A and B are shown apart, each in its own frame.
Chain A
Amino acid sequence: MKVLVAIKRVVDYNVRVQVKPDGSGVAIDGVKMSVNPFCEIAVEEAMRLKEAGKATEVVVVTIGVEKAQDQLRSALAMGADRAIHVTTDAQMQPLGVARVLQKLVDEEQPGLVLMGKQAIDDDCSQTGQMLAAILGWPQATFAGKLEIDGDKATVAREVDAGLETLNVDLPAVVTTDLRLNEPRYIKIPDIMKAKKKPLDKRPLDELGVDLGPQLTTTKVAPPAQRQPGKKVADVAELVSELKERGLV
């Protein structure tokens, strides 16, 4: 079985993001970029499937700027067999990404598509679901555990109340949650090997995918600053403070 893993280049989760002064977006110049953590978990899971003999080939794909190939190389260093880079400078949105992935699924015919449950930059959590819908495939989102048995997958989903177990027929789309696994450390020899693995560049406008109507971002604003708290000495002071502010 071939596994297709979709990954996204995002601002590293350790970086304190800054909104551009004109509110048009988030500043990314000179900012450290990484593989979206949930996508990294998806790559790791694919590698574990391969190591367990359940997957035969792991193909990673990303859609994005030239530099996004750094993230593909990281995935190759984790062990993926080859990479597809759909190159574009356009700001991609979930539906557009799903349509591009649909096209690649048609070409590659994987038995499983693994992707992160959401990207930590836009937090959309839509792409996997949309992809499953337009492919007409089953989906299992927020996977905390994944088992493959023949042409079926058992997925334990992380839901509010705990774990919900689903059985889906393959091919399917599975999106990964945080507890699915702990991605491996990359070693220098693996980075060297990754440099020699195939990385196929596909300009977005040559794929012939209609991205469809897109959303327009009108404004990005940082969260409102919290007012500093005040320490009160006792209940009496608390009550009088609350009264003063018209809260009781």
Chain B
Amino acid sequence: MSERDVMAYDVAIVGAGPAGLACALRMKQQNADLNVCVLEKASAVGAHALAGAVIETEALTELVPNWRDNPPPICVPVEKDEILWMTEKGATKLPMTPPQMNNHGNFIVSLGAMTAWLGDIAEEAGVEIFPGFAAAEALVEDGKVIGIRTGDMGVGKDGGERDGYALGIDIHADLTVFAEGCRGSVSKQLIKQFELDKDASPQTYGIGIKELWQLAPGKGSTGLVQHTVGWPLKSETYGGSFIYHLEGDKVAMGFVVGLDYKDTYLKPFDLWQELKAHPKLADMFEGAELLNYGARAIVEGGWQSMPKLEVPGAMLIGDGGGMLNVPKIKGIHIALRSGILAAEHYHEKKTSEGWDGVLRSSVIAKELKKVRNIRPGFKWGLYGGFVNAGWETVTMGLSPWTLANHADHSSLRKVSEGKDQPTPPVDTGIKPKDRLSAVYYASTEHDEEQPVHLHVADTNICVTQCAEEYDNPCTRFCPANVYEMVEEPAGKRLQINAANCVHCKTCDIKDPYQIINWVTPEGGSGPNYSNM
């Protein structure tokens, strides 16, 4: 057995998303002598990034003051907002845009292109970024996080060593910052081990599916930001779509469904395909070409679900700490801001201690508190939710109450209640035909020789209890068709097509028995998104 390499840094950051990169860059801006590294599980910075994305730019300006002179590669000023209330056949444009959805002054970007751009800026400032390396676990010693361990490379299916096997390394750091984004796998271990969520409402999520399209010439409308609510979602299900028009008739679009949905037969992918075929939207796809497909969970619990953000030696920032403004569906500006604030806190105090308090009295807290009751209000359905949202907006979040959240994995109705029925597959004639052909547009890759990175604690439950109670929802919610129940002479069996996984984390969240554990595969595995 070879020796494990150990490297030492002042600050080690896990995740090269907006939060991690902002934190790294700010650290170097304050103190150029600090040794700062960023680990990223994607094979390149931005290759796992997926968002709409319309951004608010205040935090970006603070971080990169001259960004307008040298903007991220995709950066289009928002010209117009539109919200469509959909019914099966019709669509009504809302006469006015709720204030949270007013994007005047904001920009449409690609999170992937933007993080790659920000990564270059951080590297120029001396940050060491290591794409293709996943943090597999936190190193904890005497109740203090002292760094992280990267995953081994070249492990065989059976756990043995393959040709070229390389042991992971330990990175020791005075401060470790977890910026893994929504449902971070190491953050999840930490939250559990240190009981960081014991005083918080359960965290809740949504699943976001995204596609990038090249429309036929003249069909796009640069700067137009459209959202839809309503059909094909039932009133009991939270969600809607976004359609953001970039330059050159390219359009970024997608669909978000709250993972507190109740109908076990609901298929987020199929609903999105149905929506695209709606008479109001279908025309857009004539002569159009699908460029990219992907999916990512989005954190929706808001203020009341934020875990404690510090442990000795480490901090949580960005979506990994649950910071996202749900009514605005925006988290990038908050991720950037939390990265900046975390770096400033460390610069001043040289410790993670006190970070939780700093964040909870920051502008981020103010923003999140104000909208804290809007998302949970949609438990009263779409109409009730809107009425509540109106109230919360008018009163600027000053209601004396805070609505609680409930864990997404506990929301499904059982088949035996008889309320929900299976639905036939949807084929609208608009690409992608099904999830398998969609995954092809995610350019995802996992060396098939490596162990399966989706750990199912007890596959017996799948064929017995889950099959009976919920008819195996994993076969429907996964946007990449990773889970299949196959019939064999010996009976049913769960098949995991792990190579197709796009790292959205939905299964880890929604599985009703919480027996699926998403762990990091070999570094560099996963989607290879371009401009998502």
Contact = CB atoms under 8 A, between A and B. Distances in A.
A133 to B, nearest CB: 35
Interface in A15-48: 15-16, 18, 21, 29-34
A226 interface: no
Interface residues of A, number: 22
Contact of B441 (A16, A29, A34, A184): A16
B443 A185 contact: no
Interface in A82-116: none
Q: Secondary structure of the A side of the interface?
A: loop
B5 A30 contact: no
A14 B73 contact: no
Given A30-B116, A188-B133, A15 B5 contact: no
Looking at A34, A182, A187, A191, which has the most chain B CB atoms within 10 Å of its CB?
Answer: A187
Given A15-B530, A186-B132, 19 more contacts: A12-B43, A12-B443, A12-B528, A14-B443, A14-B445, A16-B292, A21-B249, A29-B73, A30-B74, A32-B43, A32-B44, A32-B47, A182-B164, A184-B166, A185-B153, A187-B166, A188-B133, A189-B169, A192-B128
A199 to B, nearest CB: 15
Interface in A165-211: 182-189, 191-192
29 contacts: A12-B43, A12-B443, A12-B528, A14-B43, A14-B444, A14-B528, A15-B530, A16-B443, A18-B289, A21-B248, A21-B249, A30-B46, A30-B73, A30-B74, A30-B110, A30-B116, A30-B531, A32-B47, A32-B530, A33-B44, A34-B43, A186-B132, A188-B133, A188-B150, A188-B169, A188-B171, A189-B7, A189-B169, A192-B128
Interface of B: 5, 7, 43-44, 46-47, 73-74, 110, 112-113, 116, 128, 130, 132-133, 150, 153-154, 163-164, 166, 169, 171, 214, 217, 248-249, 289, 291-292, 440-441, 443-445, 528, 530-531
Nearest to A74: B132
A24 to B, nearest CB: 13
Nearest to B162: A182
B217 A21 contact: yes
Nearest to A16: B443
Contacts of A12: 43-44, 443, 528
A21 B214 contact: yes
A15 B531 contact: no
Contacts of A31: 530-531
B169 A187 contact: yes
A29 B444 CA distance: 19
Closest 3 interchain pairs by CB? A30-B531, A185-B153, A185-B166
Nearest to B72: A30
A32 B529 CA distance: 8
Interface of A: 12, 14-16, 18, 21, 29-34, 182-189, 191-192
Looking at A16, A33, A182, which has the most chain B CB atoms within 10 Å of its CB?
Answer: A16
Contact of A188 (B43, B44, B130): B130
Given A12-B528, A30-B74, A30-B113, A18 B44 contact: no
Contacts of A183: 164
A29 B531 contact: yes
Contacts of A34: 43
Contacts of B292: 16
B440 A16 contact: yes
A187 B214 CA distance: 38
Given A18-B291, A21-B214, A30-B110, A188 B7 contact: yes
A30 B116 CA distance: 8
Contacts of B133: 188
B164 A184 contact: yes
A16 B163 CA distance: 28
Looking at A15, A182, A185, A186, which has the most chain B CB atoms within 10 Å of its CB?
Answer: A185
A179 to B, nearest CB: 13
A192 B164 CA distance: 20
A7 to B, nearest CB: 17
B77 to A, nearest CB: 19
A185 to B, nearest CB: 4
A186 B131 CA distance: 11
B112 A30 contact: yes
Contacts of B73: 29-30
B443 A15 contact: yes
Contacts of A184: 164, 166
A32 B530 CA distance: 7
Contacts of A189: 5, 7, 169
Contacts of B43: 12, 14, 32, 34
A239 B156 CA distance: 49
Nearest to B132: A186
A1 B16 CA distance: 41
Contacts of A32: 43-44, 47, 528, 530
A169 B249 CA distance: 57
A192 B9 CA distance: 13
A14 B113 CA distance: 18
Nearest to B5: A189
Contact of B163 (A21, A30, A182): A182
Looking at A14, A21, A30, A183, which has the most chain B CB atoms within 10 Å of its CB?
Answer: A30
A29 B16 CA distance: 19
A31 B291 CA distance: 12
A33 B132 CA distance: 13
Contact of B154 (A14, A30, A185): A185
A187 B43 CA distance: 13
Contacts of A18: 214, 289, 291, 530
B164 A185 contact: yes
A234 B166 CA distance: 54
A29 B291 CA distance: 13
Nearest to A19: B289
A31 B113 CA distance: 9
A29 B73 CA distance: 8
Contacts of B164: 182-185
Contacts of B128: 192
A192 B37 CA distance: 11
A184 B163 CA distance: 8
Contacts of A33: 44
Contacts of B163: 182
Contacts of A16: 292, 440-441, 443
A18 B128 CA distance: 31
Nearest to B171: A188
B498 to A, nearest CB: 16
A30 B445 CA distance: 18
A192 B133 CA distance: 14
